[in-house]
Structure formats: C-alpha cells, structure tokens
Structure 1
Amino acid sequence: MSDQPAGRRTAGLGSFDERRARLAEMFEATREIALALEREVTGVPGTRHSARLAEAVRTLRRESFRIMVFGDFSSGKSTLVNALLGQELLPMKENPTTAFTTVLRHADQPRAELYEDQVGSGGEPRQVSVGEFLRAVELELDDDDLPGESPYLWGVVYGPYPLLRGSVELIDSAGTNESRRREKVTLAFLPQVDAVIFVTPARGAFKDRDQDHYLRMLQDLGHQEIFFVVNQFDLIREREREDVRRRCRRIAGQYTRRLDRRVFFVSALDALEARLQDPVPPAAEWDSGIRPLEEALSEFLMHDKARIKLLRPAELLVREIVQLHRSIGGRRGMLTRSADELQESLDAGRDKRENILKGLELIRRVLDTWVEETGQLLATEVERFIRELTPRVGEWADDLPKLDVRLLRRDRMARYGDAIQQIDDALNRRLQLELHVFAEGEEGLPAFMHSREAALEQSILPHLHDFADRLEELRGELTGTRDLVDESTVRQLLHDMSVHVPFRVLSRTSPAASWTNAAGVLAVGGAGTAAGAGLISLGLVSWVAAPVVLSAGAVYLVGRRIVKSRLVEQAVTEYASVLTGSAPEIARQYAAECTEGLARWAAGLEQELAGWYGRLVADTEETIRKLRDGRDEAERDRRALDGWAGHLNAIEGDLTDFKQHVLDEMR
C-alpha cells in the first residue's frame, strides 16, 4: 500500500468521468486498508468490508445506470415493468410467476441472454430469442403445484424501449420471501444498482415484517433515492384511500426527503391495459397513477442520474470507513497494553465470560422453545382454518367448468376420467385461492405470525440486550473502546427472521389425498381409497352407465345433464370429506416446514452471537501472544494500525469535500 494517503485533492474535479475515477481511487485505497486489516485479524483477506468495497467499485465503474424494481413476490413488480414499457413482456399472474431476475436494456433489435451462473461470476450466457426467453422466465409449477426451479439464475432482454435510452437498465427482480434461491439472486443484484423502485401492495402496504428489514438494507447500501410505488391501489375502497395515502407517506418519509416526487399510488394493471389500447385512453392512463411515476423517473434520469451515480457509492464508502475505524480502534486499544495487563483483564473477566456464555445458552433455550411452540400453534391454526373452510366447499360447485363426460365409451375411466380431472383441477384452484387469502390476509396467517413475533420479542429482547451489554462491557475492558448497543441493533437480529419463514408456501398447498385417487383405483379395478369407495358405494359409477343403452338422442342428452349433475354433486361431497380428513396432515406438513425454516434462523442467530464473543476472545489471545513474543511484532502492528487510521482520516476528509463539491456543481 502506498505511503501517500488518497486525499485532499478535490479541487477541479473536472468531468463526470474524472470525478468517477477519483471516487474509485478512494474506494481502492480504502479496500487496500480493509484487506490488510482482514488479513491481520482473520488471516483471510477478501471478506466482509473488502468484498463490499470491491462490489461497489465495479458498480461505480459500470457505464450503465441500473434501476431495480424490488419488493415482495406477487406485489405486481412485473406488471409495473410492463406498464412502464407499454407492452406485455414479462409474465403476470396471481401466484409467483417470475422464475429469475431479468435485466432490461435498450437495443434496436430484440434479443435475449440466459445465465446459469450467479451474477458477477463471469459465466457465458446462452443467446436466445425473446420468445424463448419469455418461455423460460415464466415460473412453471411442478406436479404438486409448487414452483419449480429454473436452470437459469438471471437473464437479459434487449429491445427498443424508449425509457431505457441513455444506458439505463431496468431490473425486474424475482422478488423476496418466496424462494431462497431466487431471493439470493435478487439480493446479489442490490449492491450493483444505482436506484430502487420499491413496490408494495396497497392492501397491507409496508406491513410485512420483512419490508422494514429490506428498507434498512437499502439504506445501508447508500440508497437515499428510493421510488415508492404503492401498487394495486384500485383495490382500496374510495373512502379509505386518503388514510392509506397518509400512512404510506409517513412510513416512506423515513427513507426519502422528497415525498411529492418519490411516493406514488398506482394500479399497474390498469395502466398496462390502457397502454395496450390504440389509441391510449388518456383518462384511464392518468387514473392508473402511472403518469406521475413515469414523469418523476424521466426527470430523475435527466437531472439526477450523474449525481446519484457518484453520491450513492460515496455514502456507502462513508459507512464502510466508520466500520473500519471501529475495528482499528479496538485492535489499537489492545496493543497499548502489556501482555500481562491484557491477560489479567481477560482472566478478571472470567465471570463476565461465563455469564456471556450462560446468556447465550439461555437465548438458545428461549429460541428453541419459541420455535417448537410456534410450530404447534401454527398447525392448530391451519387445521382450524381448513375445517372451517370445508362446509363451504359445496358452494364451489357453482364455479366448476363445463364438463366432458363421454358416455358412449365402454371403459368407465374413459367416460369419466376427463370430467373427474376437470372437477379436481377446479376445486384445487379454488382451494389455492382460499389458502392464498388466508396466507396473505390481515386476519389470517400474517396476524398469527405477528402475534408470535410479539411473543418472541417480549421473551427474548431482555436476554439479547443483556448479552450485548455484557459483551460490550468485556470489549471495553479489553480494548478500551466500547460501542453503545441501541434498540434498533438488537431488534434487527429478529427482523432477519423474515427470510426464513416460508409461510406463503401455505398458499400453494393441496390436500394430501385428492378425491381423484378414485380414478387410479378404478383404473386398476380396486376400491382402496375413501374417495373411490364413496363414489362406488353410492352407485354413481354404475348408475351413469344407464344412458349408454338408450338410443334416443333426446333421452341421451338429458342423461348427460343428469350424469354431470350427479357427478359434480358427489365429487364435491367427496372432495370436502377428503379435505376434512386431510386437514391434520396438511397442517402438520406446513407447520413442519415452517418450523424447519425458523429453526435454521434460530441456529443462525445463535451462531452469529457466538461469533461475536468468539472473535473478541480469539483476537485478545492472539494479541497477548504477539505481545509476549516480543515488542517488535506488537510495535509493527501498532504502526500499521496508526498508518491505516491516518489513511482513512485522509480519505474521509477527501470524501467529505468530494461530496460537497458534487452537490454544489450539480444543484
């Protein structure tokens, strides 16, 4: 590393490219310090700070300006992108439909690329047509109606999109809180984007416990220009809209300074439908709310793109420098003492260390108990909902499609197989809808999980505070530096739980035993299931053969109508019966999956807390070894730490001047 600090050279920054090059120099200088410190502390360079700084430099040097459309799955992100582009390009359905994250770029000729490797890995793409890309990006469901896994992690679509002229890229993310694999790719893109459009559904806007977590993450990445889109606003009743607007603006105001040009209430679907018409109806387009958003984006890209391209990474660099100063201060504090003094402090803190470990064990027990209780209560809650749902299954018959009963075929299943499958498909779709409402509605599963979160906070927050306070007290005695542990830091540990709770899987759960098992039973000549036995014992299968022997066309047609009526009636009855019998198993399976996710989160939290303590003790013991091996090695470390701190101070001063200079010139 050069002995000359990168700093105090802001006068005459020149062109945008010169400014960007100057900021990249500051990043590289800071990264050198981070690499050296990581090698000193962990022996493993290229972790934590240095990795984030390297990613930020790549983003800074990229010529394009990336805007990510970010939010929970099924919040209407793809529909919003389609509306902004004015064409139905990306898949839009009620259930999760986007198989991977898509980058949209301007080009004269449409084409596409598919990537099987993680973003930034340098893997070669597969060149495809836009049509082939669209088939790949739509999420396919497997035989159990669960989303399958695409072989591709992300893709790029090129086309003549006016909004994206001037090297602008729009990223349609696969979303969060649905698939860990797809969410991992979404989060990998976040450090690489320059601005964010945060989409939240109007019903329950900003209420999901994970949104606070993700918004904090955006802040930590230096994002100060976030466009908030409250989508599906047409679903809010007229008399409630002003209250929703007021509440959303209040929450968004914590993350943006320009509410008038950063918060929008939109119906993306209405906007898209209006823009697909020729000519576009101006009133419908305006009422959808898309125009104000589009105008704000255009203004932003025209006037603020260069400023944000520089200031967002500059904000990130400020945060990284602060963290590096803290790490250096702690290490430097240990080296000011003798080996005996440090060992004495470590020994004197034995009681504190034992109390820290006891506190960690207590936290583990509280978490394990909470996870187990949550699984049990969740199973009860889901089973209760399904049992309350089954009496209404009879009403679903009104929505069944036109059935295909082929009475002239002699084989029973050849006659009724298609009709039975149609009924089963329709009933399962209705069940999915009911479960989706339960999984998403404010009075359903979210309310249950919020209550469980509240119970966890009440039981564990005091222990987390005690653990953090004891750890910082020990750190203060060993290093002479101590950070105050605020409430938000402790609560953030619990907010991270959201990405491990697969509660929306419930909306894709089907009965464990479908009544159409009768089809398989009849096909092999047996009657082993309750559903098959019910159909046969009530005479439906044998009775419907009667119209086959009647030759009169009129009688035959009447017979078909009677057959369908009886078939639907019996099918719905059997479906309700099997659903009731399956309720405990459906509830058990879902609760087991949820418990597994929560247990992984709890284990991760325990590991993180143990790591805090373990690193402090290991660093202390390593410092004692160096002090005892000879003052020369310790003195070299002190000089290195002082040198790094001096370099960081110079970079920090340069960065402050740089930010002010950019703001003054670009106002």
Structure 2
Amino acid sequence: MKHRKLSNRSLTIAFFGAFSAGKSSLINALVGERVLPSSPNPTTAVINRILPVTNDYQHGTVKIKIKSAEKVTDELVAITETLLPNKSFTFEQFITWAKDNNLANHPELTNVYQSYVAALINGYEIMKEKLQTTFTVTLEELESYATDETIACYVAGIDLYYDCELTRQGIILVDTPGANSVHARHTNVAFNYMKYADALVYVTYYNHAFSNTDQAFLMQLGRVKEAFELDKMFFVINAADLAKNQAEITMVQQYVEEQLVQLGIRFPRLFALSSKKSLEQQTLLPEMVDFQTSLQQFIHEELITLSIESAKFDIQRVLQRLDQYMKTFQLDEAEKHALRKQLLRNQK
C-alpha cells in the first residue's frame, strides 16, 4: 500500500485539534480561499476532505454523504440511554418520542446534547428522505450542509474536489472533527485517519495553547503512531496575532514545545501563525510561508524516507512474528502444553 501511494502520489495530510482551534481556517489559508465553512457546533462537525479533481468530479464539486437512520439512532441512544423507555426504537419512533417528551429541553442533558437533539428534530422532515444517500452539490451550496445545524447533524462526510497547488500534487487534505467532539464516533474516525495519514498537523488555539484536551488527545495519538512517525508531526499554534508581542509568542512556543517533549515527541515542528489574518489579507504571511515551505519539503523530500522506514518496520515486525510462529511450531507436545499454560496465566 505504501509503495502504491508513493508511486501514484496519493498522499493524505490530516488536521487535528480541539473544536474551534482553527483547523478549517488553516486549511483554507493553505488552499488560498475560504472553501471549508466552519461548523457552528461540535455535535455537527464531520470529516471534510479536499481532494484532487477527477474525470467524474470536476473543480468545485461537493459530494455529500448522509448518515443512515441506524447510525443516527445509535448516536441518539448513546447520549440519551438513561432516559429511553425503549432502546429498540426506530429513528422515526425516536423522533416522535423526543417531540412528545420535549427531549431537547430535558434537564439531564447538557446544552450541547440538547442542541443536537433539537437540530435532529427540526431537520427531520427535510432530511428523512435523504437518509443513507450520497449526492453532489455545488460549492455555493456547501455551506448549508456544514453550518445549518438542522442539516449538518445528518451529514456523515463531505468531499470537496478542488483544483489548487496542493491537490495538483495528489495531496488530500482532511479536516477532522474536534478532539473534544461529543460523539465517540467522531473520535474513532479521527484516530483511523491518524493511523494512515502521511502527515499529521495538530492545531491548538493561542489563547489556550496545549489545553487538557490537547494533552489527552496527543497521549492517545502516541498509542497509534510509532515514535519515528511522531517526530515527523507538525504543530500549529493558531491565532498568534492575539499575542501582545513577539516575546509573548516565544514564551507560548517554548511552553508547548516542553509539553510535547514530555509526551515523547522529541523534535516537534512548531509554528505560531494566524490563518485568519492570512485569509483576510489574501496573501500568505511570513509565518504561513514558513509552515507551508516546511510542509512541502516534508512531502517531497522526507516522506519517501519516512515511508521506507515505516515499511521496514512493518516487515521486521512480520518477520519477528513468523520467527516466533516457526519456533512454536517446532515445539514438542509437552513444550506446547507448557506454553499454553503460561499464556493462560498471563491473561489472568
């Protein structure tokens, strides 16, 4: 798979971070235009991908994937299971019950959950015929599917086919839901992208750089990526224009770098910038240029070496397992019996 990706130059850069850290804004700044709208609510955040154009999907085409009724019901059960009289409700039954019992204002639900339930109820009549469908819309129509909560809460994913400098290089940009998303499904999808992305960009917000959410998320990241891959991550302190002066920015950078080193990320590539300011001025500011240049250098020069190291690691791991299997296979019956007993003891 790694060889095929390198040969076809199909590479994925995934962006992670807490909700409202500015991931979408950073991607827009790299693309050079505001193409990804920001989700207004962490409950409705979805995976957004910007992909190279194809013969089937021309520049500006947006593919929308809508959740199935079963998927939405599972999400609802997860957040309201202590209140449900019947966990085997169909989605339509759930909506009826939620309306009749004013679930969107239930005191046992947090404000975020109340907002999510209200959005599902209010959008049901509009979206019920579109459940489990995939269709295309124009770039102009994209915003309503990402920012109108009554529609966005039904969206499973958005793919935007866009012609720009990055996508012409075969690069796919992935904007993941916030690390503090209320849905476990969001976090699971994000970690799946972590496993297979060619480059990872973690975005934290200047006013609360490296929050508890950031720390917990990165600790989880260490469990799905090898050490040499963690050293190749990019970290962005966004909204650095909020700083009073350069000395304050330097102080925040030093703090974040120290925290990353403590997490085992030995050589963090750290950038302090303002994606919003770059977009407003419609030109890449020096800090953004530095980040983009480093990212491009990594893609074109270092990624091949990293992929080779990763492939060698995978091969070595397979060889070790084969060697262990062969040794086990050659044991006599008494030795196999002793090994089984040892394995059973280890499981207790």
Shift of the 195–134 alpha-carbon distance from structure 1 to 2, 3 Å rule, reads same
SS in 2 for 1:223: helix
CA distance in 2, matches of 1:140, 1:85: 25
Q: Give 2:149's aligned residue.
A: 140
Q: Give 1:68's aligned residue.
A: 14
Q: Which has the larger Rg?
A: 1
Cα shift readout 1:544-582 (whole Å, capped 9, x = no counterpart):
xxxxxxxxxxxxxxxxxxxxxxxxxxxxxxxxxxxxxxx
Shift of the 188–237 alpha-carbon distance from structure 1 to 2, 3 Å rule, reads same
Q: Give 1:215's aligned residue.
A: 221
Shift of the 235–328 alpha-carbon distance from structure 1 to 2, 3 Å rule, reads farther
Q: Give 1:271's aligned residue.
A: 278
* Amino acid aligned to 1:100: V
Q: Give 2:172's aligned residue.
A: 169
Q: CA deviation at 1:312?
A: 3.6
CA distance in 1, matches of 2:220, 2:162: 31
Q: Give 2:302's aligned residue.
A: 304
Q: Give 2:139's aligned residue.
A: 130
Q: Give 1:92's aligned residue.
A: 38
Contact kept, 8 Å, 1:96 with 1:139, in 2: the verdict is no
| RMSD of aligned Cα (Å) | 3.9
Contact kept, 8 Å, 1:220 with 1:316, in 2: the verdict is no
CA distance in 1, matches of 2:219, 2:317: 18
Contact kept, 8 Å, 1:109 with 1:160, in 2: the verdict is yes
Q: CA deviation at 1:101?
A: 0.6
- Identity among equivalent positions (%) equals 22
Contact kept, 8 Å, 1:91 with 1:98, in 2: the verdict is no
Choose the corresponding residue for 1:243, options 251, 263, 267: 251
Q: Give 1:156's aligned residue.
A: 159
* Amino acid aligned to 1:165: R
Contact kept, 8 Å, 1:99 with 1:136, in 2: the verdict is no
SS in 2 for 1:219: coil
Q: Give 2:3's aligned residue.
A: 20
Choose the corresponding residue for 1:104, options 28, 50, 70: 50
Q: Within the alignment, does 1:295 sit opposite 2:284 as a pair?
A: no
Contact kept, 8 Å, 1:74 with 1:95, in 2: the verdict is no
Contact kept, 8 Å, 2:44 with 2:149, in 1: the verdict is no
Shift of the 236–126 alpha-carbon distance from structure 1 to 2, 3 Å rule, reads same
Choose the corresponding residue for 1:113, options 63, 82, 85: 63
Q: Give 1:203's aligned residue.
A: 207
Contact kept, 8 Å, 1:194 with 1:308, in 2: the verdict is no
Q: CA deviation at 1:90?
A: 1.5
* Amino acid aligned to 2:257: R
* Amino acid aligned to 1:302: H
Q: CA deviation at 1:84?
A: 1.1
Contact kept, 8 Å, 2:195 with 2:225, in 1: the verdict is no
* Amino acid aligned to 2:197: V
Q: Within the alignment, does 1:231 sit opposite 2:231 as a pair?
A: no
Q: Give the TM-score of the pair, scaled to structure 1.
A: 0.36
CA distance in 2, matches of 1:176, 1:334: 50
Q: Within the alignment, does 1:184 sit opposite 2:134 as a pair?
A: no
* Amino acid aligned to 2:259: I
Q: Within the alignment, does 1:77 sit opposite 2:86 as a pair?
A: no
Shift of the 192–115 alpha-carbon distance from structure 1 to 2, 3 Å rule, reads farther
Q: Give 1:641's aligned residue.
A: none
CA distance in 2, matches of 1:64, 1:128: 24
Contact kept, 8 Å, 1:113 with 1:133, in 2: the verdict is no
CA distance in 2, matches of 1:211, 1:274: 32
Q: Which has the higher contact order (CA 8 A, sep 6+)?
A: 2
CA distance in 1, matches of 2:142, 2:333: 58
CA distance in 1, matches of 2:297, 2:45: 32
Shift of the 138–188 alpha-carbon distance from structure 1 to 2, 3 Å rule, reads farther
CA distance in 2, matches of 1:85, 1:126: 24
Alignment of 1:209-608 (within 5 A): 209-220=215-226, 223-224=229-230, 225-238=232-245, 239-253=247-261, 258-259=267-268, 262-275=269-282, 280=283, 285-286=285-286, 289-316=287-314, 318=316, 336-337=334-335, 339=337, 474-475=345-346
Looking at secondary structure, tell me which structure has more strand per residue.
Answer: 2
Q: CA deviation at 1:325?
A: 6.5
Cα shift readout 1:585-621 (whole Å, capped 9, x = no counterpart):
xxxxxxxxxxxxxxxxxxxxxxxxxxx43xxxxxxxx
Q: CA deviation at 1:258?
A: 4.9
Looking at secondary structure, tell me which structure has more helix per residue.
Answer: 1
SS in 2 for 1:206: coil
Shift of the 338–99 alpha-carbon distance from structure 1 to 2, 3 Å rule, reads closer
Q: CA deviation at 1:77?
A: 0.6
CA distance in 1, matches of 2:65, 2:42: 20
Q: Give the TM-score of the pair, scaled to structure 2.
A: 0.64
SS in 2 for 1:83: helix
SS in 2 for 1:311: helix
CA distance in 1, matches of 2:272, 2:176: 20
Contact kept, 8 Å, 2:14 with 2:174, in 1: the verdict is yes
Shift of the 93–103 alpha-carbon distance from structure 1 to 2, 3 Å rule, reads closer
